[in-house]
Amino acid sequence: MSAAVRPASVDELFAILLARDLRDDDRTIMVGANMPMARAAAMLANMTTHPDARIMIGLGVQSLGGGEAPAVHPFLFDPRTLAAETLMHQSRVFDDMSRPDVFFVGGLQLDQRGNINLFGIPDGDGGWKMRGPGGLALATMSSHCRGYYVVMPRHDARTFVERVSLITALGDAQERRRLKLPGGGIRLVLSPLGVFDFDAAGDMRVRSLHDGVEPDAVREATGFPLAIPDDVPRTVAPTADELRTLRERVDVHGTLAS
Amino acid sequence: MSGARSGGRRPVVAALDDALEVVTDGAVIGIGGAVTAGHPMALVRGIARRGVRDLTVVAPVGGIEVDLLIAAGCVSTVVGAYVGVEVVAAVGPVFRRAVERGSVAVVELDEAHVLLGLRAAAQKLPFLPWRGGVGTSFPQLNPGLVAFDDPVRGEPLLAIPALELDVALVYSEIADEFGNAQPVGTGNMDGLLGAAAEKVVLQVDRIVATEEIRRYPERTLFWRDTAVVRAPFGTHPYSNGWMTADEQHLRDFVRAAKEGEEAVDAYLRRHVLDAEDNDAYLEEVGIRRLTSLLV
């Protein structure tokens, strides 16, 4: 028997699930800071399923159709990303809001309606109990892009909450319609426990649970009533081929492995 | 290199400490660069050494330049979309502690809001409209952001107020002695920061002849009132177009900052206060570390 392929790390699983879910007509895939798994997903898709797409990673914009990916560097704005077809000018990127089809966001808190908080937790007295990173470009990108993915590195009752303390990116589908936000909203939420989306009323539901995750464990780790189907689907595990491509051609430094 | 030549063009090159005299107590300064790239760290260390007080710092997507200035006691307000060290620290550790204590105030903006605020200032407008942020907590956290219904189509929008700067501190790999900057790469938001400011202090790695600048005129940025300061490797520990960020140095800084004020003070003394100029700082970092970063 040949050596077994090492099981996927959480970040490797995220990268493969994100790459799989991209739509056929996603043409420009933009990745923001501190999301190496999304950078890997964009490269993986660009090299396999989406050869015609452009990926905006770091300071450069490129298309890898059929070719080799640059490595996933630790920092987004690595100068090696300047070797590209064109450059991602921070001073011009917001001049064409029809362009980024896809974006990826993380969050301190995510709520039942899909709202994200990256500001922090207020102390109720005008100050902060816990200060977060700040808004980055979440409000702008989530308003405009055709769809975005939420990647939550932790899943517990403090991160999956009924209502976020503050809204950095508006996910609530009803509110988005009322306020005429042009973008398509959240496509999927990924966590270490499963894959989630939103029902017709705009409430989060389970789409699939990862291998070995029991429904009760997810209920317990979620700060609001979560709709879980009786016959809950299982996340299709990464194939040996997907993992090989990711490890040997995209994440060659093993940034996502640990 | 100062003073007018007879009938000639006047160079604007200045020594670092002389150029920083325009940054006075209570000033509103913008600091260029983004995330881990292109921050004018030699200028930032110079300001920390000068002990300027009560600064409002506009950092579009900021890093430890904000932490250092807060640790040195220079800052009362931070304006921007982010302060952190990306994968090394989701939130700038000194920034986080100061904000949680209430000793530094934050003016919350989305990255696009920073851009539009600078553009409004550059265009001498009171505000520019934007959609991103509608339906969020931005106007609650930052009352300067005003929700309004647009007069043309009646859609809900936000008014992003002008971000007028006293001084912009920006970086370019290359400039000539007259302030023609040619950044390698994108220049981040530096062009607009300069346009929104009364004065620009431009940190560069290399000062080249204007004939060099003329070879690629499409790359040139310039501002009305610019001082050029030469500081090779001066973005360290952050990257420029020729070198990567120094991840190890950033990790060491973050570890010290999380440890507490004594460790931060020790870092400040060693790398900022006791390093009397950029060369002394580079000696402290070490030539082997610096050359290992070149791409």
Report whether pLDDT(B5) > 70: no
For residue B82, what is the nearest residue in chain A, using CA coordinates?
A134
**pLDDT band (50, 70, 90) for residue A72:** confident
Architecture of the CATH domain A10-250: 3-Layer(aba) Sandwich (3.40)
Query: Which residue matches tokens 């908080």?
Result: A117
**Which residues 270-289 of chain B have a CB within 8 Å of chain A?**
none
A192-234, pLDDT tens digit by residue?
999 999 999 999 999 999 999 999 999 999 999 998 999 999 9
By the 8 A CB rule, do B108 and A135 touch? yes
**Which positions ≥6 away from B274 have C-beta within 8 Å?**
B280
CA distance B156 to chain A (A): 6
pLDDT digits (tens, 9 = 90+) for B89-118: 999 999 999 999 999 999 999 999 999 999
- Residue of chain B whose alpha carbon sits nearest to that of A37: B87
What residue ranges do the domains of chain A occupy? 10-250
- The C-alpha atoms of residue A75 and residue B36 are separated, in whole angstroms, by 7
Q: Do B295 and A129 touch (CB under 8 A)?
A: no
Can you give the pLDDT at residue B194? 98
Question: 14-53 in B: which are within 8 Å (CB) of A?
Answer: 34-38
CB contact under 8 A, A136 and B156: no
Whether A62 has a pLDDT exceeding 90, the answer reads no
What crossing angle do the helices spanning B278-285 and B41-50 adopt, rounded to 10°?
110
How many C-beta atoms surround the C-beta of residue B196 within 10 A? 26
In angstroms, the CA B122 to CA A146 distance is 31
In Å, how far from its chain's centre is CA A50? 17
Nearest-Cα distance to chain B for A178, in Å, is 10
How far does the CA of residue A44 sit from the closest CA of chain B (Å)?
A: 21
Share of chain B residues as helix, strand and coil, in percent rounded to the nearest 5: 35, 25, 40
Mean pLDDT throughout B60-75? 98
Chain A residues touching B143 at Cβ < 8 A: none
CB atoms within 10 A of CB B134: 21
Asked if B185 lies within 8 A of A87 by C-beta distance, the reply is: yes
Q: Which residue has the higher pLDDT, A58 or B80?
A: B80
Q: Which of the following CATH numbers is that of domain B16-112+163-292: 1.10.760.10, 3.50.50.60, 3.40.1080.10, 3.40.50.2300?
A: 3.40.1080.10
Report the pLDDT value the prediction gives residue B180, as an integer from 0 to 100: 98
Q: Measured between beta carbons, which residues in chain B are less than 8 angstroms from residue A119? A: 108, 137, 141
Question: Residue B227 above 60 pLDDT?
Answer: yes
**Min CA distance, B121 vs chain A (Å)?**
15
Whether B132 sits inside 8 A of A134 (CB atoms) is no
Rounded CA-CA distance B154/A48 in Å is 44
The partner residue sitting opposite B135, judged by closest CB among A87, A135, A175, is A175
Contact A167 B87 (CB under 8 A): no
Residue positions counted in chain B: 295
Torsion sign across C-alpha atoms B162, B164, B169, B171: positive
Q: Of the given ranges (B10-14, B69-73, B185-189), which has the lowest mean pLDDT? A: B185-189
Inter-CA distances, B291 with A92, A94, B173, B245, Å: 32, 35, 16, 12
SS3 category, B113: helix
B254: part of which helix (H) or strand (E)? helix B247-259
* % helix, strand, coil for chain A, step of 5: 25, 20, 55
Query: According to the model, what pLDDT value does residue B6 have?
Result: 66
Whether the predicted pLDDT of A73 surpasses 90: no
Long-range Cβ contact pairs of B265-273 (< 8 A, separation 24 or more): B265/B71, B267/B71, B268/B48, B268/B68, B268/B71, B268/B72, B271/B45, B272/B45, B272/B48, B272/B49, B272/B68, B272/B72, B273/B48, B273/B49, B273/B72
CA-angle at B225, arms to B224 and B231, nearest 5°: 125
Q: Which residue type occupies A108?
A: L
Residue A258 pLDDT: 78
**A188 falls in which pLDDT band (50, 70, 90)?**
very high
H helix runs in A114-189, sequence order:
138-144, 173-178
For residue B2, give the H/E element and its range: none
Query: For residue B164, what pLDDT is reported?
Result: 98
> Which pLDDT band holds residue A74 (cuts at 50, 70, 90)?
confident
Higher pLDDT, A203 or A67: A203
Chain A nearest-CA residue for B37: A77
- Candidate from A214-218, A227-231, B76-80, B226-230 with smallest mean pLDDT: A227-231
Shortest CA gap B286–chain A (Å) = 21
Question: What average pLDDT does range A61-81 have in this prediction?
Answer: 81
* Mean pLDDT of all residues belonging to chain B: 96
Residues 97-126 of B with CB under 8 A from A: 99-100, 102, 106, 108-113, 115-116
Name the minimum distance, in Å, from the CA of A180 to any CA of chain B. Answer: 7
Give the rounded percent of residues in chain B with a pLDDT score beyond 90.
97
Mutate to test the interface with B, among A61, A73, A140 (most CBs of B within 10 A): A140
What residues of chain B lie within 8 A of the CB of A82, using their CB?
A: 184-185, 241
Q: Å from B186 to nearest chain A CA?
A: 5
Q: What percent of chain A has pLDDT over 90?
A: 79
Residue A2 has pLDDT above 60, yes or no: no
Q: Is the pLDDT of residue A84 over 90?
A: no
Give residue B123's region: left, alpha or beta (phi > 0; psi -120 to 50).
Answer: alpha
Tell me, what amino acid is at B48?
A: A
- A229-257 average pLDDT score: 94
Taking CB atoms and an 8 Å limit, are B100 and A74 in contact across chains?
A: no
Residue B196's SS3 state is coil
Residue in A with minimal Cα distance to B294 = A79
Question: What pLDDT is attached to residue A1?
Answer: 41
**pLDDT score at B279:** 97
Sequence ranges of the domains in chain B:
16-112+163-292, 126-161
Size of interface A-B (CB pairs under 8 A): 168
Work out the pLDDT band at A3, boundaries 50, 70, 90. Answer: low
Average pLDDT of span A106-135: 95
For residue A68, give both structure tokens: 């080799």
Asked if A137 and B112 come within 8 Å (Cβ–Cβ), the reply is: yes
pLDDT at B50: 96
Are the beta carbons of B81 and A169 separated by less than 8 Å? no
* Pairing mode, strands B55-59 and B28-31: parallel
Cross-chain Cβ contact A76/B36 below 8 Å: yes
Helix axes B64-71, B247-259, angle to 10 degrees: 40
> How close does chain B come to A168, measured CA to CA in Å?
6
